[in-house]
Chain A
Amino acid sequence: MVVTPSGGLCVRDLTKRYGAVTAVSGVGFDVRPGEVFGLLGPNGAGKTTILECILGLRRPDGGSIAIDGLDVLAHPASARTRVGAQLQSATLQDKITPREVLELFGSFYPHPASANELLTTFGLAAKANAPFQSLSGGQRQRLFLALALVNRPTVTVLDEPTAGLDPESRRDFHRLITGLRDAERCVMLSTHDLDEAERLCDRVAILAGGRIVLIASPSELVTRSGRSAKVYLETSCTLDAAKLQAMAGVNAMERRGPGWELDTTDAAGTVAALARAVDEANGRLVELAIRRPTLKDVYLSLTGSAWPAAENPKADESAAGRTAGSVP
C-alpha cells in the first residue's frame, strides 16, 4: 500500500513497457493540493503513458500510484471517482449539448458537481443547450475542463489543454487553471508549450526517454541550468569593444550585423552599464533586446538535445514574441 504524505497524487517508481520498449522507467513525483504540476517532454518522452497510468487507462508494469492514499491499481473503480481528465484527442458527438454531456457523465459519480454550476463557472450557460458542433474551440476546451471536474476530482489531469487554441482562448483557459489552483485542486498538466508551463506550473518535471531528468519550479530550473541571458545592442555611436567586454556579468560578446550580442549572467546590470556607456558617448540606443534563458535552454542543457521546434511551432513563436522586447 502506498502512503501519500498528504492529500493529492503520489507516483512512485512507475514503469511501463510495450514489448521490448520501456516507455516509462522509474518515474516518481508528488502533486500536492493547490499545485499545478507540469510534465514536459517531446513526443515519445513518456508523458501520455504516465497520464494514462494515472487515469487507469493503462496498467503499469511496476511502481505504484496513489490518490489521497488510495492505491489506484488495487482500486481502479474507486480511483476513477477521484480523477478528472481532459484528454487531448477526445471530442464529443456533434449533436450533444453541454448540459446533456455534463449531466450524463455526472450521473455516473456519487457526488457530482451541478451541471448548472459548471456551465456558469466555465462561461457556458448561454450555450448550455447548443449542439457541440456549434461551440467555438475555446468553448469546447472550457466544456472539456468542466467535464474533467464533473466528479469533483482530487486530481485533474490536463493533456495538452490549449493545443490549437487562439491566443485569447488560451489566456481564458490559463485563468481557469489558475482558478483551480486557487481552489486547492491538484492539477497535472502535460504540455509541449514551454511558455505555458512557465506561466502556469508551480513545478515541472522534465522528461526524456521515459525518465524524469529533473523536477523543480520553472524559475529554479532556469537558475539551476546556469544559462546566461543574451543582450542585443545597436547604437547610433561606436562603442569600445573592450569596454563592453568589461561590463558587469558579461561572459562573451560577438558582432551581430550592425550591433553586438552580449552573453551575460546579469542582464539588468549589463543593460544599466550599456545605457551609461551610450550616454557618455553622446549616442542613443537604436535597438535593445534581451533574451533571457527559457525552459528550452534548460531542456537543452539538461538533456543535451534541443526542444523539437516542429512539434509546436505556435509555442515557439509565442516564446520568441515574449522574450524579444525592443526599445526604440
Chain B
Amino acid sequence: MEIAAPLARHFALTLRLNFRSGQALAYGYLVPIIFLLGFGSVFQSDTPPLAHEMGQLLTITLLGGACFGLPTALVAERERGIWQRYRLLPVGIGSLLVSVLAVRVLLLVSAAGLQLVLAHLLYHTPWPEHPGQLTAAMTMVMIAFLGLGLLVAAIATDVPSVQALGQCLFLPMILIGGVGVPLAVLPVWAQRVAAFLPGRYAVAALQTALDDPRGLGAAAFSLLALGVIGLSAGTVGWKLFQRTTAGASSALTRTGRTAAMVPWIAIGIAATLTGHWRAPQPPAQWELITAAQIDALKFDDLPDDSGIVTPLAPPSSLDPEFAQRLRTWARSRLNEPAQGVRDLLTVAAIADLGQDAREGQIARAVFEELQADFDGPRLRAILAWIALNPNAGQAIIDVSGLGIRRHPPDWAIRERDGLYARKFLGRLLSRIRD
C-alpha cells in the first residue's frame, strides 16, 4: 500500500495542530524570543552585538522544543489513546513517529531561524558566516536533543512527569551546563559536571559554526558527543516509546538504561580525560586573519635589505653558530605562537636598532628559525597579524642571552617588528624575491 500520501497528510495535520495550540506556540516560539530579548538587553552593546551568545540562545531554543515540546506532545497523545488508535492502522507505528519527528524538526528550525532573524533586526547581530556549517551543527544538536526528548517521552508516564523529567535536564544545563551561563565564567567543578551534559556541546558546536574561522572542525569533539548521546538516547527512546503505545510499562529495562546512559557517561569521562571539559578557548586574534587581509598587504614600500633600516643578509650568509644559539633560545618561547613569533622578530629588531655588526645575519637567522618552528599557513597568518597590529602583545624582551645587549624603546621595536614581519611574509608569499 502507498503510505507516502497518508503520511504526508499526517505530517501536515500534526503541523497544523501544533499551530492551533497556544501552549505549543508559547513554548516553541514565545519563550525563545523572551530569552533573546533578555540576552539582547545585556549583550547588545558587545561587538558585534549578541554574536557570541547566539550559540547559547539557539541551544535554549532547540533544547526547549526537543526536550519539552516533543515529549509533551507525544505523551499527551499517548495518554489520550491516540497512539493506541494509530496501532490499528495498517502501517507501522514507526512511520508515524518519523512523521512526528519531521514536524518537530521543522518547528525547531523555524524557531531557530526566527531567532536569528529577530537578533539581526533588533540588535544587528551579523548573519552566520557559514550557513552550511550552521546547518550541520544544528542537525547534530537536534539529533542529540530529539533523542533525549524521545527517551523522556518513553520514560514519562504522564504529562506532569514529562515536565519533571524535562526540568531535570533543562535546569542543570541552563545553570551549570554552559547553556544559560557561559562555561568560561563557571567554576571548575561546574565545568567538569557540564562535561556530562549535552548542552555545552550544543553551545560549542553552534557557536563554532556561527563565528569561528577555524570552522566546524574545531568543535569535532562536541559534534561527536552530540551524536553519541543523541543516537544512544534516541535508539532506546524509539524502541521504548513504541512499546509503551502498546500498553507496556514505561519503566526502562536494565538493557535500555545501560544503552541510554553508558555512552552518555562515556562521553563525560572522555571529555575529562582529554581536557575537553574545559571551556573552549576563543580563537586567537591571528587566527581571525583572512586571506583577503593578507592579500591586501603592500610590500613595495619596504626598506632595502642592504640598507640601515631592517637589513636582511642573503641566505648564503647565515651564521651557523648564532643560528644554533637562536634555536635553543627560541625553543622555550613557542607555547604561545603569536608571542613566540614576535619575540623572534624582536631579536632582529633590537639587533637592527642597536646597529649590531651582525644585524643582517641575525635577521636572516630569525627568518630561518621562524620557518623551522612554524608551519607555513600559521606563520603567514601570525606575520600578517603582527604587520597589521604592531602594538599588540609584548615587545620588550631581554635578548642578552644571545649576545645582543641593547634596550631600544618599545615603540621603535614595534615598528621594526612590523617591517620585518612584512619582509618575511613577502618572501613566504613569493611577492619579494629573496
A residues near B17, Cβ cutoff 8 Å:
93, 95-96
Given contacts A77-B90, A81-B90, A104-B13, contact A90 B5 (CB under 8 A): no
Given contacts A56-B88, A100-B13, contact A108 B3 (CB under 8 A): yes
Determine if B1 and A110 form an interchain contact, defined as CB atoms under 8 angstroms apart: yes
Q: Which residues from 264 to 322 on chain B have a C-beta closer than 8 Å to any C-beta of chain A?
A: none
Q: A94 — nearest CB in chain B belongs to which residue? A: B21
Determine if A57 and B20 form an interchain contact, defined as CB atoms under 8 angstroms apart: no
Q: B87 — nearest CB in chain A belongs to which residue? A: A57
Determine if B6 and A108 form an interchain contact, defined as CB atoms under 8 angstroms apart: yes
B84 at interface (Cβ–Cβ under 8 A)?
yes
Determine if A85 and B88 form an interchain contact, defined as CB atoms under 8 angstroms apart: yes
A87 at interface (Cβ–Cβ under 8 A)?
yes
Determine if B81 and A87 form an interchain contact, defined as CB atoms under 8 angstroms apart: yes
Q: How far is the CB of A55 from chain B (nearest CB, A)?
A: 6
B residues near A92, Cβ cutoff 8 Å:
80, 82
B residues near A91, Cβ cutoff 8 Å:
80-82
CA distance A174 to B176 in the complex (A): 60
Cβ 8 A contact of B81, one of A58, A83, A90: A90
Per-residue contact bits, chain A 143-180, to B (CB 8 Å; 1 contact, 0 not): 00001000000000000000000000000000000000
CA distance A103 to B6 in the complex (A): 9
B120 at interface (Cβ–Cβ under 8 A)?
no
Per-residue contact bits, chain B 1-34, to A (CB 8 Å; 1 contact, 0 not): 1010110011001000100110000000000000
Q: A88 — nearest CB in chain B belongs to which residue? A: B81
B residues near A83, Cβ cutoff 8 Å:
88
A89 at interface (Cβ–Cβ under 8 A)?
yes
CA distance A107 to B10 in the complex (A): 9
Determine if B82 and A108 form an interchain contact, defined as CB atoms under 8 angstroms apart: no
Per-residue contact bits, chain B 57-97, to A (CB 8 Å; 1 contact, 0 not): 00000000000000000000100111011011111000000
Q: Which residues from 70 to 112 on chain A have a C-beta closer than 8 Å to any C-beta of chain B?
A: 77-78, 80-81, 83, 85, 87, 89-96, 100, 103-105, 107-110
B262 at interface (Cβ–Cβ under 8 A)?
no
CA distance A94 to B21 in the complex (A): 9
A residues near B84, Cβ cutoff 8 Å:
57, 87, 89-90
Determine if B89 and A108 form an interchain contact, defined as CB atoms under 8 angstroms apart: yes
A residues near B77, Cβ cutoff 8 Å:
93
Per-residue contact bits, chain A 298-325, to B (CB 8 Å; 1 contact, 0 not): 0000000000000000000000000000
CA distance A109 to B1 in the complex (A): 8
Q: B6 — nearest CB in chain A belongs to which residue? A: A107
